[in-house]
A = this chain, B = another copy of it.
Amino acid sequence: MVETTRRYVLAKRPEGKPDRDTFELEETGVSDPRHGEVLVRTLYLSVDPYMRGRMRDRESYAEPWDVGDPMQGGVVGEVVESEHERWSEGDRVVGNLYWSEYAVVDGDDLSRVDARAENVTLSSYLGVLGMPGRTAYFGTLEVAEPDPGETVVVSGAAGAVGSTVGQIAKLAGARVVGFAGSDEKVEFLEDDLGFDAGINYKTTDDYRAALDDAAPDGVDAYFDNVGGPITDAVFTRLNVDARVAICGQIALYNEEGVPTGPRKLPQLIATRAKVEGLLVRDFSPRFREATEQLHEWVANGDVEYRESVVEGFENAPDAFLGLFEGENIGKQVVKVAEPSE
């Protein structure tokens, strides 16, 4: 019998960078699942940059959290108790649950996790086979749309989304250049993932010159996870009819007020480039297609992935805060519990 769980709630809205005081750990009761509900034990918890947006008191694509609300997030878990016909004790599931060790949720909101194939792990359903992987899949194929021989630039290239974007673009026959924040990440891109070039933005002064070296034919597609000065530089190197997918702007998320930077719209006239915001849920009717394709690529080794794992539920805030310091290579997850045998 599970009677209580630990969970994190939003303790206060951050101004600028969130910190440990943004979160509060509390103990709360767990009710018995009612008809249609399932009690899930968290195995892995996902922390993602977009969650910063939900901490603001402002309507956006994801509903803002109120102070005191439990933090939500992607969870891979195990069914402990089921009152839903589809699920049985021991089933492995993935869903958008809570930063908690246990949760009672509607069984209709869960999907099955199948980690039997080679290279496929439970936690990969929070990364390459989950929301970040699907974001990369649709953003690359439907917005950036690289043709063979074109040059694709990815910012945040060593992250969960960016690392997958680059590999899908390589599969499409493009030359791929990634911006990342350490030499280790650049090696990961070039040596493990097959990127044509990586640029360490923390040790590079002149992003435009670096692009001229790494992308001498200009930029045909840009997948932006970061925003800010990297994006300013890439805009100056766009080719005619370039496509820009705005997926994330993590460099700006902790800025208060309205951050300023170079105005780049005149560049769009010269290039007739198309800049488009990307939100993966717009593609939800095609999620099954994406997950199946990604599963095949991962299982046969065409798409590789890495994960940064923080151990221990209580460390979830640190895992989240590390995203803004660029601490993770690949998907950042929190390991909360061992699966049962």
Contact = CB atoms under 8 A, between A and B. Distances in A.
A209 to B, nearest CB: 16
A285 interface: no
Interface string A287-330: 00000000000000000000000000000000000000000000
A267 B252 CA distance: 12
For this chain, the copies found in one complex come to 2
A262 B257 CA distance: 9
A263 interface: yes
Contact of A274 (B224, B232, B265, B274): B274
Interface residues of A, number: 35
A258 B262 CA distance: 6
Nearest to A240: B61
A277 B240 CA distance: 10
B282 A269 contact: no
A277 B268 contact: yes
Nearest to A277: B268
Contacts of A262: 258-260
A97 interface: no
A245 to B, nearest CB: 10
Contacts of A268: 246, 275-277
Given A260-B260, A260-B263, A249 B276 contact: no
Contacts of A273: 276-277
Given A246-B268, A269-B61, A279-B269, A263 B274 contact: no
A14 B253 CA distance: 38
B272 A275 contact: no
Contacts of A263: 227-228, 249, 252, 258-261
Contacts of A231: 265
A49 B60 CA distance: 36
Contacts of A282: 272
A171 interface: no
Contacts of A278: 269, 272
Contact of A266 (B252, B265, B271, B275): B252
Nearest to A249: B266
Contact of A275 (B60, B247, B276, B279): B276
A265 B249 contact: yes
A270 interface: yes
Contact of A246 (B247, B258, B269): B269
A248 interface: yes
Contacts of A224: 265
A274 B275 contact: yes
Nearest to A265: B246
A247 B265 CA distance: 9
A263 B266 CA distance: 14
Q: Which 5 A-B pairs have the closest CB atoms?
A: A268-B277, A275-B275, A258-B262, A272-B277, A269-B277
